[in-house]
């Protein structure tokens, strides 16, 4: 899949240590980390170059710790994504994980890709470092704690609370401008027995609504999107057409986004990054609430 994402103008190399130590992690979220880092590297090499993804064991002592203050001694699995792109000055590299910080032109990105990566890695008790030099490319280093146990018992001991809540064939309109995150969410919800209609922005979402003639049970929308329409704007338009429509809002920067829109239609907020079981449960809760709110017709 990585080869398809980067295109033929970039040489992709992968190196994986044969006897990697196990980690305790959400596989889909780790995939999201790697894919976001690869897409970031691809965008840094519009004219082509070389992209290397390396995965290996790393044992760190006190003398190996990075100056960023987040690293700590121990055994880890390290994922390194290296590109031969333009590189970054120190000021830009230092802000790489800030929500909404981006060097891309307007409409080309929200600045949430690396912020999402940072959040996922922190959730897994790890950290991420960036090393970059103008004209000499960039390397992102992700450190995830080694679990120290075999993978099979960890899987068997999984808590029932992490089980995915299934749907009942309802239709969900998913609006998310980050393509890889949209793909990931669609895969989760489709696997939960929902029909998922996807849009990259509010304008596309309105067109889909019209084509489907309002045959949609739930709107899951990002709050910050290109094309001049926020998730709140979209929700207001659709609820004016279908008052019983349920909405779930998502964003990587919850307090400021939600606080700025005082007339936001009612609906739960799901901060990025989020785990698949949490998304599935919230979707089910919203749809169940919708069914309960629908008027019951009196018998003739």
CATH code that applies to domain 2-148: 3.30.565.10
Sign of CA dihedral 255, 256, 262, 266: negative
Per-residue pLDDT of the chain (300 residues; tens, 9 = 90+): 777 778 888 999 999 999 999 999 888 888 888 888 888 888 889 889 999 999 999 998 877 776 556 778 899 999 999 999 988 877 666 676 765 445 544 334 434 567 788 888 988 999 998 888 888 899 999 999 998 554 443 333 334 344 567 888 999 999 998 777 788 889 889 989 999 999 999 999 999 999 999 899 999 999 877 767 889 999 999 999 999 999 999 886 544 455 555 578 889 998 876 778 889 999 999 999 877 665 544 444
pTM given for the model: 0.54
Spell out the domain ranges in the chain.
2-148, 160-291
Q: At which residue do the structure tokens 């949490």 appear?
A: 278
According to CATH, the superfamily of the domain at 160-291 is: Response regulator (3.40.50.2300)
Q: What is the 3-state secondary structure (H, E, C) of 30-58?
A: HHHHHHHHHHHHHHCCCCCEEEEEEEEEE
Nearest of 9, 2, 142 to residue 84 by alpha carbon: 9
Look at residues 190, 222, 217 and name the one whose alpha carbon lies nearest to residue 204: 222
User: What is the helix (H) or strand (E) element at residue 144, kind and residue range?
Assistant: strand 138-145
């Amino acid at each position: 899949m990585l080869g398809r994402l980067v295109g033929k103008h970039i040489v992709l190399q992968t190196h994986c240590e044969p006897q990697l130590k196990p980690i305790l992690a959400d596989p889909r979220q780790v995939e999201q980390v790697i894919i976001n880092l690869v897409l970031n590297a691809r965008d840094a090499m519009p004219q082509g170059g070389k992209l290397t993804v390396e995965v290996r064991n790393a044992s760190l002592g006190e003398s190996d710790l990075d100056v960023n203050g987040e690293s700590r001694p121990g055994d880890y699995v390290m994922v390194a994504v290296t590109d031969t792109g333009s590189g970054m000055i120190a000021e830009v590299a230092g802000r790489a994980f800030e929500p909404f910080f981006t060097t891309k032109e307007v409409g080309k990105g929200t600045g949430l890709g690396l912020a999402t990566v940072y959040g996922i890695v922190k959730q897994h008790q790890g950290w991420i470092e960036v090393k970059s030099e103008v004209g000499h490319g960039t390397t992102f280093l992700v450190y995830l704690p080694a679990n120290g146990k075999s993978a099979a018992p960890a899987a068997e001991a999984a808590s029932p609370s992490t089980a995915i809540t299934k749907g009942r064939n309802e239709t969900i309109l998913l609006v998310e401008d980050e393509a890889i995150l949209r793909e990931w969410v669609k895969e989760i919800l489709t696997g939960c027995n929902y029909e998922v209609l996807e849009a990259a922005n509010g304008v596309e979402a309105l067109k889909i609504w019209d084509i489907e003639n309002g045959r949609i049970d739930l709107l899951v929308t990002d709050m910050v999107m290109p094309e001049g329409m926020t998730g709140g704007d979209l929700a207001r338009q659709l609820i004016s057409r279908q008052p019983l429509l349920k909405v779930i809002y998502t964003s990587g920067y919850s307090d400021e986004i939600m606080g700025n829109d005082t007339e936001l239609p009612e609906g739960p907020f799901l901060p990025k990054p989020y785990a698949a079981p949490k998304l599935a449960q919230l979707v089910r809760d919203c749809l169940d609430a919708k069914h309960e709110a629908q008027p019951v017709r009196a018998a003739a």
